[in-house]
Amino acid sequence: MAILIVADHDNHTIHPATLSVLTAAAEIATYTNNSELHLLIMGHDCQPVVDMAQGITGLSQILVADHQIYQYPLAENIAPLIASLVQTQSQAHEGDGQGKYSHIITSAGTTGKDYQPRVAALLDVAQISDIISVESADTFKRPIYAGNAIATVQSSDYLQVITVRSSAFVAAPLSDSSLSNGNQVAVVELAAQADSGKSEFVNAELTQSSRPELTTAKVVIAGGRGMQNAENFALLDALADQLNAAVGASRAAVDAGFVANDLQIGQTGKIVAPDLYIAVGISGAIQHIAGITGSKVIVAVNSDADAPIFDVADYGLVADLFDVLPVLTEVLKAKD
Amino acid sequence: MKILVAVKRVVDHKVNVRVNANETGIETSNVKMAINPFCEIAIEQAVRFKEQGSADEVVLVCIGPKDAEVQLRAGLALGADRAILIRVDEEVQSLDVAKLLHKVVQEQLPDLVLLGKQAIDTDNNQTGQMLAALTDMPQGTFASDIVFTVPNKIKVTREVDGGLVTLALSLPAVVTVDLRLNTPRYASLPNIMKAKRKIITVIYPENIGVSLSPRLTTLKVEPPPTRQAGIKVADVAELVDKLQQAGVL
């Protein structure tokens, strides 16, 4: 039996979330007589990703489908390829019970959320979203109701199709593959399937940022409606520079147009679990709290002493954020 | 053009949910129910397409108990034309929801199926994608903009991790909507009255040849670990001091 991990990448580098998925997959393997871990890379001109994957410990096979139709992760093209791997593997090894995939697992980013349920439906099995812990080979914990309850669910399917909340699992180590070339992982080239012809990529507008990525940053500073306008987010940027932090936002700040939507933290945005989370001018609606409760230390700066954010904050400062932010930035600068 | 919109009845998003005493689920007695907020955005979008003349008919479909008629009436009051209620009293899992919707799609033959990107109770984010797989339609998930272009095509702008991505899909297609797509309207009193005369067709899974087969068993539902109550600090200096002691600065 093997576990198929689907890599999240941009044709150049592997997304760190994939390393957290590897940890989850390795945990599952401990319940399945140490299944082999296979990494699937679908992309175009994605050799750098394959080279990088050689630096992941614990893999026994890397499957690569490098073709133009996988340049952008279109669910219509990706899902049938993943589903076919399960089907051919199970037929080829029928009887000996070896080599058949027991789990297909990927990160719960927007790409995984897009194709993984499509894979599950093609294979007529359930999909288990956003797991935060592995209880056994078929039993997992996942948050429901915006994280206000944790459900333990057991699957009765022959195959588990799973997305992983990456912030709930530590990232597996990634070594420089050029140093470990004595231990090459077998690479299997896969033929491309037919293009579905039903969807095509038109264009992308990606947010450019030199800051750490929101979901993997050690420190996150987020602003809410209290920031009042887009220009004031410069105050958070200045503080973020001092702390090498990522900047996020509440839904109110995104809806008001202060920042781009991909910075939204919460139930319907990104889930973060940094060492330090600083909420500035955020009242703390349940939907926002859902995205931050995994943080080690939460700091809240809010002028409203009754704001619900103070119920979850380790350190709260009741003050005007426009007074606090410049002082905090100066104090940290002085410490450098 | 016909648009089918899937609607789910959920605990209102403002309710502070509590896990029930025997840890089998959420306390739902005497809790306010509502249309899932993402479904409301899907209805609004369909109604706007009708107002713009790009759609002729907006049909709602809901899987749920008899009381779900309340949410369907609310959806009809927003401007949908008619509704279908698939009567099921127990909870239906995503794959079965997709199979039931698949049958409705085969019967109604919509050009576009709109769903919310996720239900705020189960937080699964699966049904639209599963329906697209079963119907072999293209999918545009997490849509923040939908534009009809050349005949039989739509452009869908999606909210993805790094920003926005636009896809062109052939119709018929399945699109799941994100928060930023629109702001749903409030139903006016005359429209609420008009909605009472609109037709809700009730069908049962067995009528359309679907037998439910749940694959997941919920063993336990528990409250999340609670965070230790924090402290209030007096000023920035004390805050920095505390953060240094905690080892995060």
Provide DSSP, B173-229.
EEEEE-GGG--PPPPPHHHHHHHTTS-EEEE-GGGGT------EEEEEEEPPPPPPP
- Interchain pair B232, A310: CB under 8 A: yes
Q: Which residues of B touch A203 (CB under 8 A)?
A: 165-166
**Exposure of A170 by Cβ count < 10 A (0-12 exposed, 13-18 middle, 19+ buried)?**
exposed
Band (pLDDT 50/70/90 cuts) for residue A176 is confident
A92 pLDDT exceeds 60? no
According to DSSP, residue A156 is labeled -
ipTM of the complex: 0.96
> Helix, strand or coil for residue A107?
strand
Residue A285, both tokens: 């609606």
Structure tokens at B31: 């809790």
The pLDDT of residue A88 is 63
Query: Residue A267 and residue B123: Cβ atoms within 8 Å?
Result: yes
Task: Indicate yes or no: CB of B139 within 8 angstroms of CB of A114.
Answer: yes
- Across the beta sheet with A101-107, what order do the strands follow? A127-131, A160-164, A101-107, A2-6, A36-43, A59-66, A186-189
Residue A181 clears pLDDT 60, i.e. is over it: no
Using a pLDDT cut of 90, give the percent of chain A over it: 89
Using the beta-carbon criterion (under 8 Å), do A129 and B126 form an inter-chain contact? yes
A156: nearest CA partner in chain B: B215
Supply the DSSP symbol for B76.
H
Q: Where does chain A have alpha helices with state H?
A: 16-29, 47-53, 75-92, 110-122, 233-243, 251-255, 286-289, 321-335
Instruction: With cut-offs at 50, 70 and 90, classify the pLDDT of residue A98.
Output: very low
CB contact under 8 A, A314 and B227: yes
**Are A118 and B232 an interchain contact pair (Cβ–Cβ within 8 Å)?**
no
Find the CB nearest A109 among B161, B237, B243.
Answer: B161
CA quadruple B12, B16, B19, B21: dihedral, nearest 10 = -110
Please report which confidence band the pLDDT of residue A257 belongs to, taking 50, 70 and 90 as the band edges: very high
Which of A95 and A228 is assigned the larger pLDDT?
A228
Smallest CA–CA separation between A165 and chain B, in Å? 12
A/B interface, count of CB pairs below 8 Å: 249
8 Å CB contact of A316 and B127: no
Question: What is the pLDDT averaged over residues A90-98?
Answer: 47
| Whole-number Å distance between alpha carbons of A120 and A160 | 9
Residue in A147, A152, A267 closest to B220 by CB:
A152
A198/B166 Cβ within 8 A:
no
Q: Is the dihedral of CA B65, B66, B70, B72 positive or negative?
A: positive
Compute the distance between CA of residue A47 and CA of residue B155 in angstroms, rounded to an integer. 31
Chain A nearest-CA residue for B156: A202
**Cβ contact (<8 Å) for A118 and B118?**
no
Position A96 scores a pLDDT of 44
| SS3 (DSSP) at B244 | helix
- Cross-strand partners of B198: none
The alpha carbon of residue A277 is apart from the nearest alpha carbon of chain B, in Å, by: 10
Q: How far, in Å, are B61, B78, B128, B147 from residue B64 at the CA level?
A: 10, 20, 17, 31
User: Testing the interface with B: which of A9, A10, A78, A113 to mutate, by most B Cβ within 10 A?
Assistant: A113
- Among B123, B164, B233, the residue with its CB nearest the CB of A315 is B233
SS3 string, B107-120, reads HHCCCEEEEECCCC
A257-270 mean pLDDT: 95
Give me the pLDDT at residue B180, please: 94
- How confident is chain B (249 residues) per 10-residue block, as mean pLDDT? 98 94 92 97 98 96 98 98 97 98 98 98 98 98 95 95 96 97 97 97 97 97 89 96 94
Rounded to an integer, what is the distance from CA B203 to the centroid of its chain? 20
**Whole-angstrom Cα Rg for chain B:** 21
**Consecutive H or E run containing B68:** helix B68-77
Cross-sheet strand order for the sheet of B82-87: A199-206, B163-170, B153-160, B139-148, B173-177, B112-116, B2-7, B57-64, B82-87, B200-203
Q: Quick one: which of A249, A252, A267, A264 has its CA closest to A146?
A: A267
Min distance A97 CA to chain B CA atoms (Å): 22
Total residue length of chain A: 336
CA distance A287 to B121: 12
Tokens of A169: 């699992």
Which residues of chain B neighbour A152 with C-beta distances below 8 Å? 218-222
CA angle B17, B21, B26 (to 5 degrees): 30
- Which of left, alpha, beta for A58 (phi over 0: left; psi -120 to 50: alpha)? left
Per-residue pLDDT at A93 exceeds 50: no
- CB atoms near residue B137 (< 10 Å): 24
Quote the CA–CA distance of A23 and A25 in Å, as a whole number.
5
Q: Token digits for B67?
A: 């009381």
Instruction: Write out chain B residues lying below 8 Å of A298, CB-based.
Output: 227, 230
Q: Which residues of chain B are within 8 Å of residue A74 when distances are taken between CB atoms?
A: 167
pLDDT tens digit sequence for B68-115 = 999 999 999 999 999 999 999 999 999 999 999 999 999 999 999 999
Contact between chains at A152 and B218 (C-beta distance less than 8 A)? yes
Instruction: Identify which of B123, B227, B231 has the shortest CB distance to residue A143.
Output: B123
Which positions in chain A touch B166 (Cβ < 8 Å)?
201-204
Count of Cβ atoms closer than 10 Å to residue B201 Cβ: 11
Determine whether the interchain pair B159/A251 forms a contact, defined as Cβ–Cβ distance below 8 Å.
Answer: no
Residue with tokens 């769903």: B115
Chain B nearest C-alpha distance from A14 (Å)? 14
Q: Which of A147, A251, A316 sits opposite B232 (nearest CB)?
A: A316
Quick check: A144 and B248 CB within 8 A?
no
CA distance A175 to chain B (A): 25
B101 token code pair: 């919707």
Chain centroid offset of residue A31 CA: 23
Instruction: State the number of CA atoms in the 13 A half-sphere of B105 facing the CB.
Output: 24
In tens, the pLDDT along A191-248 reads 999 999 999 999 999 988 889 999 999 999 999 999 999 999 999 999 999 999 999 9
Read off the pLDDT of each residue in A40-54 and give the average, rounded to a whole number: 96
Nearest to A276 among B94, B222, B243 (CB): B243
- Residue B213 has a CB neighbour count (10 Å cut-off) of 12
- The DSSP output letter for A230 is S
- DSSP letter string, A254-284: HHTTSS-GGGBBSTTSB----SEEEEES---
Residue of A nearest to B11 (CA): A145
Alpha helices in A128-243 (DSSP H): 233-243
Chain A residues with CB under 8 Å of B93 CB are: 126
Task: Please name which of B117, B116, B81, B86 lies closest in space to residue B2, comparing C-alpha atoms.
Answer: B81
Residues A284-333 pLDDT 10s: 999 999 999 999 999 999 999 999 999 999 999 999 999 999 999 999 99
- pLDDT at A99 exceeding the cut of 50: no
User: Bridge partners of B164?
Assistant: A205, B159
Select the residue of B126, B159, B221 nearest A149 (Cβ to Cβ): B221
> How far is it, in rounded angstroms, from Cα B239 to Cα B9?
44
State how far the Cα of A256 lies from the Cα of A224, in Å rounded to an integer: 10
